[in-house]
Amino acid sequence: WEQRKSGVWRYWELLPAISGVKPVTLGEGATPLVELERIGRMLGLKRLYAKNEGQNPTGSFKDRGMTVAVTLAKAIKARALIVASTGNTAASVSAYAARAGLRRIVVVPRRKTALGKLAQSVLYGADIVEIEGSFDAALKAVMTAVEEDPRLYPLNSFNPWRLEGQKTLAYEVAEALGGEPPDWVVVPVGNAGNISAIWKGFKELYRYGLITRLPRMAGVQAERAAPLARAWQKGLDEPLFVDKPETRATAIRIGHPVNWPKAMKAVKESNGVFTMVSDEEIMKAQAMLARLEGIAVEPASAASLAGLARLVEDGVIAPDETVVIVLTGHGLKDPQAMLEAGARRYIAGSPEEAVKIVLGLAES
Ligand code: F0G
């Protein structure tokens, strides 16, 4: 069964039914839940795990949703798929649409889309529209285009099929932890689809009697792109939208998250929190994951760890609680950010000089 080879389609009984259609799959999902012993010890946590979504086919969690949504799009004979994206959704739709033989058009922020993601969309053969402005502007353009021409099929995360695929992360986490959820799940929040999808997954498991309790959801935003975290801090029920969002974590550089009502509900229902972190904390967390645990993530994903550190420091998360941080995208997505991580590079003009440098390093 092809379905059994995909971590997502393994749960086909809990996914939207499409009879007679073969899934458009690249073997997504079934990503490792890695224990972070060294970072856990540093933070004083007994059980800390990372769900490494960078190991998906195009390097981010987006593939979970895209396999379902593109399968549906193919089934209803959509002509052209279109998304607004900060880069990862674009890369993912480009790959899955290629596999389905469908046209793909992506609208991304000009100069603010990480190089690896842009390069993926180029290689997978998408038509790429680069827009001056943020993701929010890109999404507005996509919605207007879709209204004018119904042959365009939009695959942003208001598309329910995407969230259906993304909810499988919750199933995998509960399975990997022996059939119960952790106490906390920490997720970076941009357009706010993923945190909503993961919460839906846990609630379903609970409703079916497969787990006996629910985790608390923590959503992390970047300080200058934090419509939900800022509202949360003030005890408001609605986001404080940001018109010019900024952050080094370009994946979550979003000021008007469309899925905010679902995300707000997820955090409230789960007795969770929203928090925010600075770019500096994000970049520090990215280097820590790479250097202490061997896991390369892009900046937006490192926001999970940075947010966790804040929540532990603030006493929101206690030392004896089990925590899963979701690492949403691979480090190679943003090579420039990787190169900024305090490089230890030496230039040798000759083999002899290289030997000298190496011996010096061995000495130190
Ligand atoms: N982490 C990464 C690496 C992302 O690419 C995104 C979103 C998020 C976290 C936040 O997830 O939007 O569901 O709250 N990226 C979208 C994109 C916006 O276009 O690739 P969210």
Q: For the chain, what's the residue count?
A: 364
Give residue-wise pLDDT tens across range 54-111.
999 999 999 999 999 999 999 999 999 999 999 999 999 999 999 999 999 999 999 9
In which band, very low, low, confident or very high, does the pLDDT at 5 lie, cut at 50, 70 and 90? confident
Q: Is residue 344 part of a domain?
A: no
Q: For residues 225 and 310, state if they share a domain.
A: yes
Q: For residues 220 and 319, state if they share a domain.
A: yes
Q: Which atom of ligand 1 is nearest to the CA of 53?
A: 3
Q: For residues 167 and 294, state if they share a domain.
A: yes
In which band, very low, low, confident or very high, does the pLDDT at 19 lie, cut at 50, 70 and 90? confident
In angstroms, the CA 189 to CA 257 distance is 9
In angstroms, the CA 247 to CA 214 distance is 32
What is the Å distance from ligand 1's center to 347 Cα? 37
What is the Å distance from ligand 1's center to 324 Cα? 18
Domain boundary among the residues 112, 128, 158 is at: 158
Binding site membership of 166 for ligand 1 (Cβ less than 6 Å): no
Q: For residues 243 and 138, state if they share a domain.
A: no
Range of the domain at 31: 2-59+162-339
Q: Is residue 362 part of a domain?
A: no
Pocket test for ligand 1, best of 94, 194, 277, 332 (most atoms within 8 A of CB): 194
Q: In what order do the strands lie in the sheet with 80-84?
A: 127-131, 103-109, 80-84, 152-154
Domain boundary among the residues 130, 158, 186 is at: 158
Q: For residues 33 and 69, state if they share a domain.
A: no
CATH assignment at residue 324: 3.40.50.1100
Q: For residues 279 and 182, state if they share a domain.
A: yes
Provide the ipTM.
Answer: 0.99
Binding site membership of 87 for ligand 1 (Cβ less than 6 Å): yes
Say how many domains are in the chain: 2
CB neighbourhood size of 235 (10 A): 6
Q: For residues 54 and 78, state if they share a domain.
A: no
Give residue-wise pLDDT tens across range 29-43.
999 999 999 999 999
What is the Å distance from ligand 1's center to 328 Cα? 8
Q: Is residue 355 part of a domain?
A: no
What is the Å distance from ligand 1's center to 88 Cα? 7
What is the Å distance from ligand 1's center to 113 Cα? 12
Average pLDDT over residues 161-184: 97
Q: Is residue 357 part of a domain?
A: no
Q: For residues 37 and 185, state if they share a domain.
A: yes
In which band, very low, low, confident or very high, does the pLDDT at 1 lie, cut at 50, 70 and 90? very low
Binding site membership of 301 for ligand 1 (Cβ less than 6 Å): yes
Give residue-wise pLDDT tens across range 228-246.
999 999 999 999 999 999 9
Q: Is residue 121 part of a domain?
A: yes
In angstroms, the CA 333 to CA 130 distance is 18
Give residue-wise pLDDT tens across range 242-273.
999 999 999 999 999 999 999 999 999 999 99
What is the Å distance from ligand 1's center to 146 Cα? 21
Q: For residues 184 and 245, state if they share a domain.
A: yes
**Torsion over CA of 90, 94, 97 and 101, rounded to 10 degrees?**
150
Q: For residues 103 and 29, state if they share a domain.
A: no
